[in-house]
Amino acid sequence: MNRKKGNKAVRFGPALKAVLICVVTCGLGLGYVWQKQQINSLGQQIKENEIKLEELRRENKRRGDNLAYLMSPQELDTRLRQLNQDLMVPRPEQIVVLQEQREPAPQSPMVGTDPLRTASR
Amino acid sequence: MEDNGKSLQRSAKRWLYCFGVIMLLSFSLLGYRLVDLQVIRHAQLSDAARGNTVRTIVREPRRGNILDARGNLLATSLFVKTICADPGLIGPYGPQLAAALAPHLELEQAWIASKLEPKLFQGDAGQMRTNRYVVLKRKVPREKWEEISADLKELDLGVDESSLTRKQRQMLTSVRQSIFADRKEDQLRVYPGNRLASHVLGFVGGTDHDGKEGIEAVLDSRLTGTRGWRVTETDSRKREVVSLRHQDVAARNGLNARLTIDLGVQHIVEAELDQAMEHHQPQGVTAVVVRPATGEILAMANRPDFNPNRPGEFPAANRRNRAVTDTAEPGSTFKAVTVAGALNERLVSLQSRFDCENGIFYHGGRSLRDHHPYDRLSVMEIITKSSNIGSAKVAMLLGEGHLHHYIRRFGFGERTRVSLPGEVSGTVHPLKRWNKLSITRVPMGHEVATTPIQMVMMASAIANGGKLMRPMLLRQLEDETGRVVVQYHPEAVRQVVTPETARRVTMALKTVVEPGGTARRAALEYYSVAGKTGTAQKAGRGGYIPGKYYSSFVGFFPADKPALCIYVALDEPTGDYYGGLTAAPIFKAIAERSASYLGIKPDLVEQGSMVSNNEGP
């Protein structure tokens, strides 16, 4: 009777295993596809960022070159002449050279004078 | 019944056999095809397959910048595009495309339209092919190309596109895409200062942008950089699949070269040379500004010159850097060498007096004349008055051997090794080729040929306590982040004369710009100047050419603590031709402006009376 019953009964173990194998296989497959898709989209992002970086570098260089040109002596000279502001390099007699005098070295405290007063916090 | 069943079985078996045979044959054919594809033609097909997807992209390095001593940009490179067209895709829309492109490319519309016409060619094997690649314009800035491609996308081809089929719309898209930029990026060398320092910088040329002249040629390998590459795969729409990159080696951009040239001083020098060209109308004019202590060249300029952005538009003669390639008899500026040699050998002092024969001296069967007749002159006065007879007599006392020795010691007759191409060594004849007259002619700068760079280095040696320096044009090489890769240092060539001799020669040279000297117009208001004029008749075939002179002035200031040494030479000035009248005022103008620009402390003016003594209010 038991044997008969056992023959006809649904065996959950193997079915579960089969389902599990299917799920794992599908999961691995989907995971692989998802991973590939992620790699591709990251690749695209890398490419976009590379292009953006290159553009920024180019723009930086363009602006740097432009700045260098605007600061060049011949450009400044031309602009000064255009603006006609009578700006010129100062003549030597117009230049005042400030010579910093060295402070005399502090005298060592002498015996018998007031003790050196210090303050501290 | 039984027979029927057996015949059915036989028939089924037969069909089965047939089916089996067919299947076997099919699989055999498939197997053969498989072996054919995978084994026999494997190499060929795999290459073809790789060719469809694998791309090798060459990554071009950017040519390094050239900067002046303060970091101002002298030359830089930009990546630019080559605009091309595929006439095979254009069909009847050539005129519309030409009209759209002409204003952008600044070309004739008719010329573009003719380039866009499809043409048939017969190949070597007799096959017919169309022109699929036509270059419309090279060196188009990237920004310009972006404008063009944006305009092309919106271009009205005169067709109502909404009524077209998908295929017809695709065709119109391909018409717009028939104008494209070449994938390989080209470079455009830009010199923002245009003509400024053109002879120093040189220019680039050719398809590989090789340096052709100047610093561009000398530092070509350092400025060029190293190519990189990327081996990658693309998808069906020719987009890169980044995850399938096989190799990715970045290009290494060229090094930036920082020169000793100061753009401010260079600008001053060139402005003064332009004025000199206008005023004296010479064949050419050259000026070199050097820091005597280090040999650094702050400015070097010649007229006529050229624009390195468009070198082909100027004659080859304009591209010659006369400061290093041209020689001339220096004339009286050379007397400083003679006197320095005699003083160094302690044969004379500045006060030693020589009979100047009242202006005419016969030696070797020929006469030697002074510009003014002089009776007896001291060595110092010989320099002040620039007496030919006096300098000849000093040289005769010195002797041919010693004179030749000092000429060579000052660097004449050999290249200065300045970092510029085409430098010549000048002419100093060996002693055995000297004739009876040489000892009277060489001391005043005849029978020798020197370059401007040699002359300025000679004067710098006197200014520098007798130490001859190698002219220095390169300060350092930097990578693109500013890190110094190579640092160049001042290089002393030799001690030519003792510091004491140099000091005495300087004392004599200081009198040249004083009243009674030949170069009063070189005197500066706030600085003491030591210098020497030179006026040499130009030599040609069969002797000296009447009316053609080479006028020069070389000097340094402040005389006792020299900051700058300046050489100015005019080739065949019209009108006035004396060095003291032509070159000396140019020296003065350059010196005054450069001194203000560089903040050189005056030595002839009492400085402002305000002295900070750190006292509080």
- Is A26 among the domain residues? yes
- Is A5 among the domain residues? no
Any B CB within 8 A of A104 CB: no
- Is A104 among the domain residues? no
Mean pLDDT of chain A: 78
Are B164 and B303 within one domain?
no
- Is A54 among the domain residues? yes
pLDDT > 60? residue A115: no
- Is A3 among the domain residues? no
Are B333 and B474 within one domain?
yes
Q: Pairing relation of β-strands B120-122 and B186-190?
A: unpaired
- Is B610 among the domain residues? no
Scanning every residue of chain B, which has its alpha carbon at the shortest distance from the alpha carbon of A95?
A: B608
The number of distinct structural domains making up chain A is 1
- Is B331 among the domain residues? yes
DSSP E strands, B86-147 = 120-122, 128-130, 134-141
- Is B105 among the domain residues? no
Mean pLDDT of the region B208-237: 91
The number of distinct structural domains making up chain B is 3
Are B428 and B395 within one domain?
yes
Q: What's the confidence (pLDDT) of residue B511?
A: 95
Contact A100 B612 (CB under 8 A): yes
CATH of the domain at B297: 3.40.710.10
Q: What's the confidence (pLDDT) of residue B614?
A: 40
Q: What's the confidence (pLDDT) of residue A84?
A: 81
Q: How many CB pairs lie under 8 A apart between chains A and B?
A: 76
- Is A53 among the domain residues? yes
Of B76, B608, B612, the CB nearest to A95: B608
**pLDDT digits 0-9 by tens, B342-380:** 999 999 999 999 999 998 999 888 899 998 899 999 999
Mean pLDDT of the region B310-326: 93
Q: What's the confidence (pLDDT) of residue B611?
A: 39
- Structural contact between residues B345 and B400, judged by C-beta atoms closer than 8 angstroms: no
Q: What's the confidence (pLDDT) of residue A95?
A: 73
pTM: 0.82
**What residues pair up with B476 in beta bridges, in sequence order?**
B258, B487
| Closest Cα in chain A, distance from residue B118 (Å) | 34
- Choose the final residue of a domain: B234, B259, B284: B259
Rounded-to-integer distance, Cα B479 and Cα B368, Å: 58
Are B255 and B372 within one domain?
no
- Is A97 among the domain residues? no
- Is B121 among the domain residues? no
Are B208 and B331 within one domain?
no
Residue with tokens 């003509």: B195
Q: What's the confidence (pLDDT) of residue B504?
A: 96
Q: What's the confidence (pLDDT) of residue A105?
A: 62
Mutating which of B76, B235, B243 best tests the A interface, going by the most A Cβ atoms within 10 A?
A: B243
- Is A61 among the domain residues? yes
Per CB-CB distance under 8 Å, the chain A contacts of B78 are 61-62, 65
Q: What's the confidence (pLDDT) of residue B612?
A: 39
Any B CB within 8 A of A65 CB: yes
Any B CB within 8 A of A90 CB: yes
- Is B96 among the domain residues? no
- Structural contact between residues B537 and B503, judged by C-beta atoms closer than 8 angstroms: no
**pLDDT digits 0-9 by tens, B454-487:** 999 999 999 999 999 999 999 999 998 889 999 9
Domain extent at residue A56: 12-82
Domain extent at residue B248: 53-81+187-259
Mean pLDDT of the region A21-35: 96
- Is B111 among the domain residues? no
Q: Pairing relation of β-strands B256-259 and B66-67?
A: parallel
Residue with tokens 């003016």: B605
Are B216 and B297 within one domain?
no
Are B254 and B358 within one domain?
no
Structure-block tokens of residue B582: 């032509």
Per CB-CB distance under 8 Å, the chain A contacts of B596 are 89-92
Q: What percent of chain B has pLDDT over 90?
A: 67
Mean pLDDT of chain B: 91
Are B390 and B528 within one domain?
yes
Q: How confident is the model at residue A117 (pLDDT cuts 50, 70, 90)?
A: very low
Rounded-to-integer distance, Cα B471 and Cα B460, Å: 10
Greatest Cα pair distance, chain B, in angstroms, is: 159
Pick from B205, B13, B153, B171: nearest CA to B89: B171
Are B586 and B474 within one domain?
yes
CATH of the domain at B213: 3.90.1310.10
Are B157 and B278 within one domain?
no
Per CB-CB distance under 8 Å, the chain B contacts of A93 are 526, 605
Are B326 and B229 within one domain?
no
Are B175 and B61 within one domain?
no
